């Protein structure tokens, strides 16, 4: 065990640096004045380089090698932690420090340019910054791929979803491509045969939306002693260990967006707050990849909070929060509003049936960009063509087109597929939880998430990265990640004659 303690100490220091970067990154997207962006970029880049130097030093390499010589004497968690240390080391050591620094600075500049470009609806303002970010991310993918024996895209993807590969995503997404168009047509035909749902009338003050969101967060089990809710241009979950920061954005003309956005980010936060405390600042304590992380946010938002049972709890609280009266505020109508299927331009506002099309498009585009088959200059046209092909929508400005997401400006190539992989995982895990604990659905009608969150904490959150992704799914659900439960869920909720799931 003596040799193991040395890399464990190093990785504990690295975890503290990552936490500091997390808080600086949260501040950059919430409170930081625009004039501080250059200096913030320098700060984040310095921390990235410092962490990279520590991680890739000869001292760390030697310590890992010595610890691996006594792996047989380690316990299950120590062995898994050592495995994750090695994986982290390989990813980092494959990339030169100057490339890490250049990429961090480029991403910061690109993010700030994206903010203004999105505001103006002018892609040309972002294009040169995005091109530089893409160039550097491609270099990172090539460097990692050369060491890992992977394509550049698979190497980038592995950083977000360990073990996931483009070939597997292609197969899973092919199932969606083959199934979803017919499902969407049937759902829209079913909706057209019903009287239209009545929009909730009136103005929805931001403070009232915030207070209701806080109420729902508490119901779901969010720990406000170790977290907080704020506002940002693009909702996210960030922060640091034991300091989980989530954000949303408000629209006084529509209360539903912010509320479901809050619950989506709460799902992420519950995962972060439920990670194994005994392994704090060690790689094995980290969430097991972004597909699993997205499964937790979508399980809370889509599986639980858009269920018919939960809407019975939500509807009277909507009435109370906004002074509503009449049929529009009844649970039946609110449920129909929350499960309305209609193709739209904005990914984060999309319903469950059309959301995968947004991801299929972005996946097509980012794989092409990383492969060098699509230039940044051609991105707006390719994006608009894909929206027409997949959703039948004509994009009229870049704000509702390729400028709507922060991911590519921030250098997150390989992240987008994890959203729909997460939707698949959410359906699979929720089905297993409800089978194991039949009282979960009735409890949601009382605003009681304790059974669901207890099951998730035991089977997902507290596992950290002890298990590989498919090992975790097999242990929790009896099978690897697949599309079957997700498609069955969509069929029940949206296409069945008495859709109430």
Give the integer Cα–Cα distance in Å for 13 and 281: 8
Give the integer Cα–Cα distance in Å for 103 and 364: 23
Give the integer Cα–Cα distance in Å for 100 and 52: 8
- Phi, psi angles (nearest 5°) of residue 438: -60, -15
All residues at 6 or more sequence positions from 363 whose CB lies less than 8 Å from its CB, including other chains: 169, 173, 416, 417
Give the integer Cα–Cα distance in Å for 410 and 454: 34
Q: How far is CA 500 from CA 196, 230, 259, 383, 417, in A?
A: 16, 33, 20, 34, 28
Contact call for residues 111 and 414 (beta carbons, < 8 A): no
Which one from 111, 265, 309, 364 is the annotated catalytic residue? Answer: 265
Contact call for residues 287 and 275 (beta carbons, < 8 A): yes
On the 0-12 / 13-18 / 19+ scale of CB atoms within 10 A, 180 is buried
54-59: Cβ within 8 A, 24+ apart: 54/10, 54/13, 54/14, 54/17, 55/10, 55/14, 55/88, 55/89, 55/92, 55/93, 56/89, 56/92, 56/93, 56/97, 59/10
Q: In what order do the strands lie in the sheet with 243-248?
A: 227-231, 243-248, 237-240
Active site residue 265: yes
Residue where the block lists tokens 């207890």: 454
Question: What residues are labeled active site?
Answer: 265
């Amino acid at each position: 065990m003596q040799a193991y303690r040395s890399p464990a100490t190093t990785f504990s220091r690295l975890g503290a640096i990552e936490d500091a970067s997390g808080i600086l990154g949260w501040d950059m997207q919430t409170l930081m004045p625009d004039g501080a962006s250059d200096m913030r970029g320098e700060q984040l880049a310095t921390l990235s380089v410092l962490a990279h130097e520590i991680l890739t030093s000869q001292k760390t390499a030697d310590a890992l090698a010595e610890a691996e010589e006594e792996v047989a004497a380690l316990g299950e968690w120590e062995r898994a932690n050592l495995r994750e240390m090695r994986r982290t080391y390989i990813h980092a050591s494959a990339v030169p420090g100057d490339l890490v620094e250049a990429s961090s600075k480029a991403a910061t500049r690109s993010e700030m340019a994206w903010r203004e470009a999105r505001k103006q609806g002018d892609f040309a303002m972002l294009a040169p910054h995005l091109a530089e970010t893409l160039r550097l991310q491609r270099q990172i993918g090539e460097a990692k791929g050369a060491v890992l024996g992977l394509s550049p895209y698979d190497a980038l993807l592995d950083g977000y979803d360990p073990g996931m590969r483009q070939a597997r995503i292609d197969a899973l997404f092919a199932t969606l491509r083959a199934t979803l168009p017919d499902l969407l047509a049937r759902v829209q035909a079913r909706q057209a045969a019903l009287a239209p749902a009545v929009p909730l009338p009136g103005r929805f003050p931001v403070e009232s939306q915030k207070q209701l969101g806080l109420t729902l967060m508490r119901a779901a089990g969010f720990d406000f002693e170790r977290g907080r809710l704020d506002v940002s241009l693009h909702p996210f979950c960030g922060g640091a260990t034991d300091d989980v920061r989530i954000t949303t954005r408000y629209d006084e003309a529509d209360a539903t967006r912010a509320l479901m956005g809050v619950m989506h980010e709460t799902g992420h936060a519950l995962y972060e707050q439920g990670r194994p405390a005994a392994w704090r600042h060690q790689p094995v304590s980290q969430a097991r990849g972004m597909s699993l992380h997205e499964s937790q946010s979508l399980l809370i938002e889509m599986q639980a909070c858009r269920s018919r049972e939960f809407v019975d709890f939500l509807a009277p609280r909507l009435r109370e929060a906004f002074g509503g009266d009449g049929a529009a505020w009844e649970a039946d109508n609110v449920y129909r509003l929350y499960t309305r299927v209609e193709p739209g331009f904005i990914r984060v506002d999309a319903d469950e049936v059309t959301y995968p099309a947004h991801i299929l498009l972005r996946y097509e585009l980012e794989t092409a960009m990383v492969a060098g088959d699509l230039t940044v200059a051609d991105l707006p046209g390719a994006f608009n063509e894909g929206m027409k092909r997949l959703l039948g929508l004509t994009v009229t400005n870049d704000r509702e087109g390729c400028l709507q997401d922060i991911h590519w400006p921030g250098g997150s190539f390989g992240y987008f597929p994890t959203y729909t992989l997460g939707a698949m995982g959410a359906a699979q895990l929720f089905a297993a939880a409800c089978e194991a604990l039949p009282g979960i659905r009735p409890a949601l009608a009382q605003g009681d998430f304790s059974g669901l969150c207890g099951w998730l904490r035991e089977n997902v959150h507290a596992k950290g990265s002890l298990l590989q992704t498919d090992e975790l799914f097999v242990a929790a659900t009896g099978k690897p990640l697949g599309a079957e439960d997700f498609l069955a869920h969509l069929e029940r909720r949206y296409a069945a004659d008495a859709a109430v799931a």
